[in-house]
């Protein structure tokens, strides 16, 4: 396959960057907005998230991502594309000290998508399923490799990063994933209008957010907004906000060592009992036990 030699070179560049910059969780954020690389030395537990639209290139190892009853298994040479803010449960299924799991993740920039869609005169298309898997296009892998090499030349970053990120979006648009992500770039589309409401939810998830305010941000009536929001994310706005709160509370307890009660109040809960009940329903364990297990898993992988 033509991707494989490129995969080896890209893998080496990602490995070098992680060696220098990975945190205890195996994630290295980069100075390029939305670009991160990930390493795991052992299979992981279940990771709950409301993923932003993104492209994930797997370079070594294997991962499973589930959306509702659907699950996707992908390995080296595959790309996972998520085209909406949807709840996912993911798990690294193949990783070891000898052969770690490596991946590169780029959050899709809707502004860049819009510019390209206008320049390329692309019309809106039905995006289909919000999660899909394809073999990585060699042009996408090549753009990713040049982004990783650019990180090794910090002085060049301010000059060249924008055009390389734009190029990677271009190859995603014209490649195997193109039809799925064109809707993201169409100005005024339902996808972009819901994205405005999602951005508000992400920014103010700890605050009460009436559906009327969210609908106004999206430029829709409340009833139309509710219907479009569920179609795009698979959740109601209230469910979406609740999951954001629980995921952030879990992060605070696991990473910052916050107590269950302080995490609950910080993310907007008024009742610790309600928080504990909903937390257990989502993650399968009470907050304290789950955070302890998560911290133990991170420590074992470090």
Q: Map residue 56 onto helix, strand or coil.
A: strand
The per-residue pLDDT for 193 is: 86
Q: Which of 169, 185, 201 is the last residue of a domain?
A: 185
Identify the burial level of 188 via C-beta atoms within 10 angstroms of its C-beta, where 0-12 means exposed, 13-18 middle and 19 or more buried: exposed
- For residues 137 and 171, give the distance between their C-alpha atoms in angstroms, rounded to a whole number: 8
Instruction: State whether 129 and 260 are in the same domain.
Output: no
Instruction: State whether 24 and 172 are in the same domain.
Output: yes
Range of the domain at 196: 190-234
Q: Map residue 105 onto helix, strand or coil.
A: strand
- List the CATH number of the domain containing 158: 2.60.120.10
Six-digit token string for 133: 């898997």
For the chain, list residues with pLDDT below 50.
1-4
Place of tokens 């290139």: 57
- List the CATH number of the domain containing 293: 1.10.10.60
Instruction: State whether 218 and 98 are in the same domain.
Output: no
Helical H runs in 97-236?
110-119, 138-151, 157-174, 178-181, 190-203, 211-218, 222-233
- For residues 152 and 165, give the distance between their C-alpha atoms in angstroms, rounded to a whole number: 16
Residue 248: enclosing H or E segment and its boundaries?
A: helix 237-255
- pTM value surpassing 0.85: no
Instruction: State whether 243 and 274 are in the same domain.
Output: yes
Instruction: State whether 49 and 129 are in the same domain.
Output: yes
Q: Which of 234, 259, 293 is the last residue of a domain?
A: 234
Supply the DSSP symbol for 184: G
- For residues 107 and 53, give the distance between their C-alpha atoms in angstroms, rounded to a whole number: 6
**Cβ-proximal residues to 249 (8 Å cutoff; 6+ apart), any chain:** 258, 260, 263, 264, 266, 267, 269, 275, 279, 287
Instruction: State whether 162 and 278 are in the same domain.
Output: no
Q: Which of 201, 216, 234 is the last residue of a domain?
A: 234
């Amino acid at each position: 396959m033509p991707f494989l030699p490129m995969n080896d070179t890209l893998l080496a560049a990602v490995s070098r960057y992680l060696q220098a910059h990975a945190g205890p969780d195996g994630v290295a954020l980069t100075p390029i907005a939305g670009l991160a690389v990930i390493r795991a030395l052992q299979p992981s537990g279940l990771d709950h998230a409301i993923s932003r639209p993104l492209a994930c290139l797997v370079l070594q190892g294997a991962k499973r991502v589930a959306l509702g009853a659907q699950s996707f298994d992908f390995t080296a040479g595959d790309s996972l594309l998520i085209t909406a803010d949807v709840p996912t449960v993911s798990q690294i299924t193949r990783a070891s000290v000898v052969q770690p799991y490596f991946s590169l993740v780029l959050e899709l920039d809707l502004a860049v998508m819009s510019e390209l869609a206008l320049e390329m005169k692309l019309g809106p298309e039905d995006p289909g399923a919000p999660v899909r898997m394809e073999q990585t296009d060699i042009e996408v892998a090549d753009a990713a490799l040049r982004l990783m090499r650019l990180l090794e030349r910090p002085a060049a970053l301010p000059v060249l990063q924008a055009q390389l990120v734009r190029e990677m979006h271009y190859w995603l648009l014209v490649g195997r994933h193109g039809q799925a992500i064109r809707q993201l770039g169409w100005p005024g589309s339902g996808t972009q209008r819901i994205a405005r409401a999602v951005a508000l939810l992400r920014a103010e998830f700890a605050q009460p957010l009436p559906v009327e305010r969210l609908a106004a941000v999206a430029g829709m009536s409340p009833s139309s907004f509710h219907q479009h929001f569920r179609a795009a994310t698979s959740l109601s706005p209230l469910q979406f906000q609740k999951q954001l709160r629980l995921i952030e509370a879990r992060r605070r307890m696991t990473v910052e060592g916050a107590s269950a009660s302080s995490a609950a109040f910080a993310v907007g809960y008024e009742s610790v009992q309600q928080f504990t009940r909903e937390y257990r329903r989502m993650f399968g364990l009470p907050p304290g036990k789950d955070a302890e297990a998560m911290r133990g898993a991170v420590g074992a992988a470090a």
